Homo-oligomer: A and B are copies of this chain.
Amino acid sequence: MTLKLYCFGESGNAYKAALALELSGLDWEPVFVDFFNGETRSEDYRKLNVQGEAPLLIDGDVTLSQSGVIQQYITDKTGKFGGEGADKYEVLRWVLWDNHKHSSQVGMTRFLMNFLPEDKRPADVIGFMQGRLQTAWSTLNTHLEGRDWLVGDSVTNADFSCCSYLYYPESFGFDRADWPHIDAWLSRISDLPGWKHPYDLMPGNPSDRN
């Protein structure tokens, strides 16, 4: 049965799940979620996911949300991307760090700087978030020094989670040139056979709304 991933191009959180699905070899298809017209906040959508967010995976009678959960489900189905043995804790560690200290702030900052009308962009909040993000990127860059992947000897859900927002072209304070180990690692991931950019992998992108 074809897995259905509710997603949209701009969502870095959806991309974490979409990229894992695409590289896992599972049969899947995207279902467009019209986030910018309020679909994830609608009553109907909240019946599917009280958290009011994409991504959402439907596999027959199984409905899952949170990108890290969908990644774990893919790992359980395919044996891929979860880390070997005790590395499963290291994979989960970076997925959680990404959710807590990285994607949460990147997603917000990118939204405020790019998807709000110019006169509604809160400069103090954006500046504060960008300061926090420098710390996060420093942590990531330090950990990647001398490593090909965040955990172990091959790509895992940790990489898919932490890399996701960093491929987007919109400005949010990140410059690959500032972080050489992050830069090399992003190239390593995008060189994987079958890799696709978020705007090529999922439906919808900013030019559709202009």
Q: Write out, one digit per residue, whether chain A residues 48-84 have a CB within 8 A of any chain B CB (1) or not (0).
A: 0011100000000010111111001100000000000
A104 CB–B CB distance under 8 Å: yes
Interface residues on A, range: 20 to 34
Across the interface, A89 reaches (CB within 8 A) one of B51, B73, B124, namely: B73
Interface-central residue, A52, A64, A68, A95, by most chain B CB under 10 Å: A68
- Interface contact B99-A100, CB-CB below 8 Å: yes
Min CB distance, A6 to chain B, in Å?
Answer: 15
Copies of this chain present: 2
- Interface contact A52-B96, CB-CB below 8 Å: no
Min CB distance, A164 to chain B, in Å?
Answer: 13
On whether A139 and B73 interact (CB within 8 A), knowing A96-B96, A100-B100, the answer reads no
Across the interface, A104 reaches (CB within 8 A) one of B89, B104, B128, namely: B104
- Interface contact A64-B93, CB-CB below 8 Å: yes
Cα–Cα distance between A72 and B89 once the two chains are bound (Å): 8
Q: Write out, one digit per residue, whether chain A residues 112-131 have a CB within 8 A of any chain B CB (1) or not (0).
A: 00000000001011001000
Min CB distance, A137 to chain B, in Å?
Answer: 13
- Interface contact A93-B69, CB-CB below 8 Å: yes
On whether A52 and B139 interact (CB within 8 A), knowing A89-B64, A93-B65, the answer reads yes
Cα–Cα distance between A62 and B139 once the two chains are bound (Å): 21
A103 CB–B CB distance under 8 Å: yes
Q: Residues of B contacting A66 with CB < 8 Å?
A: 92-93, 96-97, 100
| Sampled A-B contacts (7; CB under 8 Å) | A51-B101, A64-B89, A65-B93, A68-B96, A100-B100, A104-B105, A125-B128
Known: A68-B92, A69-B92, A104-B104. 9 other contacts (CB 8 A): A46-B142, A50-B139, A50-B142, A52-B139, A64-B89, A69-B89, A72-B92, A100-B103, A104-B105
Interface on A for B, CB 8 Å cutoff? 46, 50-52, 62, 64-69, 72-73, 86, 89, 92-93, 95-97, 99-101, 103-105, 122, 124-125, 128, 139, 142-143
